[in-house]
Structure 1
Amino acid sequence: MPSIPSPDRAPMRQAWRNEQGSVTIEAALALSSLVVVSALIVGVLATLAMHVAAVNGAGAAARAHAIGEVYVPARGQVTTTEQGGLITATVSIPAVIGEVSASAVFPVEN
């Protein structure tokens, strides 16, 4: 014999079965997730671009210091050390995600 719902529970069961508005919520969650993922991708790409700039800057700083020139990078900070006839230049650049740094070694020219 089937059970007959009590009058006080019938509206509650209908509310659970009503899916009106669920598509709007799902779309909002999906779009916000896409925005977050897109922002992360852009941040990672910008950080990778800063890493490439740090590598190029370190190489340029090491070459410049090896021939006696002063190198001033467009952004970031350069530290150079000389040991055993080799110049080591390290460039640190602030990026979107942390700070990137790169080093380059170049022989001293006489």
Structure 2
Amino acid sequence: MKNDKIKRVEEMERIMDKSADIFKELDAVLDKLEENLADYKKLDEYYSSENWFLDVEDFNNGVLPQDLKCGVLSEDGAYDLFGENHELAIRMVEIAAKMLRR
């Protein structure tokens, strides 16, 4: 039977390894997020532009191909994405504050 010290060190080692793996994954995802910010801004600007309204009108009038993937022309799709972005940003700030407070 292992003594308490060995169990404690093994447990802390598992926690350290798990945390290191999570931080590495998070860093990679944050890199992707940061790289995507310019494109995301472009989407946001498109969604509130005259071009978006013209594209929606063209789709509704059959000018655009019916098999064209065009979820971007849905008000709900973009609205949901922008809302999700907002909620994720708040969550990231809240988690960062917890991490800094320890």
TM-score of the superposed pair, with normalisation by structure 2 = 0.42
TM-score (norm 1): 0.39
Q: Bigger relative contact order, structure 1 or 2, given CA contacts below 8 A and separation 6+?
A: 1
Query: Which one has a larger percent strand, Structure 1 or Structure 2?
Result: 1
